[in-house]
Amino acid sequence: MKRYMILMCTLFLLFAAVFFLPDRLIASIPEVQITHLQQIQHIETVSASGVIEEAEKNAVILDTPVVPDQICVKIGDYVEEGQLLATIDRGQTIRSLQSLGESMEGGSSITGLDPSLLTVLAGASLDKSAQEAVADLSASIPSRITAACSGTVTGLGMKEGELAFSDTAAVTISDLDHLIASLAVKEKDIAAIEVGQTVELSGTGFKGKSCTGIVSEIYPTARKRLNGLATETVVDVIVELTQTNAAVKPGFSVEGSIQTSSGDTIYILPYECILQDERGTEYVYVCRNGQAVRQDITVGLETIQGAQITAGLSAEDAVIYNAAEVDPGSPLIRIAEGME
């Protein structure tokens, strides 16, 4: 009876080994995913930062001090060439200059105004020639300011009833239909930049909106700019916007990606596939007859999608994606379901 029980236990253990041991052995073999060389078009680019600007901007500069009686436009208005922008109160302009002359110390001056007139306006000299000079001044003061070109009003440098001085940009008119990006390209990158290259533009002010352009001008000289605590040399590059949208506005900060090559076909692998040994040799594992076989490779460019493979693999090779899971001492592998 005892021998019979021993025989039954032995048969049971053999039966269990036959049915369950293979599953345990299979489960102990690393499961891997496979991939293949991927073909992409690699385009080399140069990155640069800058600002959006108007291609054309016209400022009405005052030749003489004036006091506006009425300002007929506001920022954001579209105006036509010759349209009335402001009317000028000549009498109030003279009175304001007279008051200013009385308060200014000797030797002081106002841009665009003969210093001797300040003395006259202050009432210190009332002879005929002085009065004639004041009359000439009054006649030189414009009665109105008109637009020299069509566009959108983007700046006002005067207020109604207040004296606006000479050399002031009284009204700034911009062509918002034609914008440019002024980019600062680093000294080490400028040799790759050429007129006509395509530029992709992005910025927080128009995130997710398409904006492209072409290089239209490269400045002939470099300049220094402060980058953090260091100074770097840059060359200004002008990009003419060819595709934009209403979200893009002058003054916005912008990042530009300048395409410096037409695009070459390269083959890449995800970085997870690639390992490196103690000698610095880069390699992958390929799946051959159920085993992981080491294959040395040569890596070229590094891209966002992966690393370029220039030698060591063919398009048919089944490359193990999760290479770090492979045990070099036990090369048996099993491919994850759906990956064959």
223-264: pLDDT as tens digits: 999 888 889 999 999 999 998 888 899 999 999 999 998 778
pLDDT band at 181 (very low <50, low <70, confident <90, very high): very high
| Weakest-pLDDT range from 88-97, 173-182, 236-245, 279-288 | 88-97
CB 258 within 8 A of CB 283: no
Q: For residue 69, what are the contacts with CB-CB under 8 A and spacing of at least 6?
A: 86, 87, 88, 89, 92, 160, 161
C-alpha distance from residue 266 to each of 45, 259, 273, 311 (Å): 16, 17, 17, 12
CB 165 within 8 A of CB 66: no
Instruction: Look up residue 255 and give its two tokens.
Output: 């990042």
Furthest-apart CA atoms within the chain: distance in Å: 150
Query: Cβ–Cβ contacts within 10 Å for residue 108, how many?
Result: 11
Query: Taking 50 as the threshold, does the pLDDT of residue 338 lie above it?
Result: no
Instruction: Return mean pLDDT, the chain.
Output: 82
Closest CA to 29 of 252, 240, 292: 292
d(CA 245, CA 257): 18
Please give the average per-residue pLDDT across 203-227, as a whole number: 91
d(CA 253, CA 245): 15
d(CA 311, CA 299): 7
Q: DSSP for 154-187, please give it.
A: EEE---TTS-B-TT-EEEEEE-TTSEEEEEEEET
Where in the chain are the domains?
Answer: 30-42+265-335, 45-55+177-264, 65-174
d(CA 217, CA 81): 28
CB 58 within 8 A of CB 148: yes
Query: Cβ–Cβ contacts within 10 Å for residue 147, how many?
Result: 19
pLDDT band at 123 (very low <50, low <70, confident <90, very high): low
DSSP classification of residue 323: G
Closest CA to 265 of 300, 224, 292, 317: 300
Q: What is the CATH architecture of 45-55+177-264?
A: Beta Barrel (2.40)
**Mind listing the pLDDT tens digit for each residue in 81-94?**
999 999 999 888 88
Annotation: CATH topology of 30-42+265-335 = 2.40.420
pLDDT band at 145 (very low <50, low <70, confident <90, very high): very high
65-174: which CATH number, 3.40.50.720, 2.40.50.100, 3.30.70.20, 2.30.40.10? 2.40.50.100
The pLDDT of residue 85 is 95
CA dihedral of residues 84, 90, 92, 97 (deg, nearest 10): 120
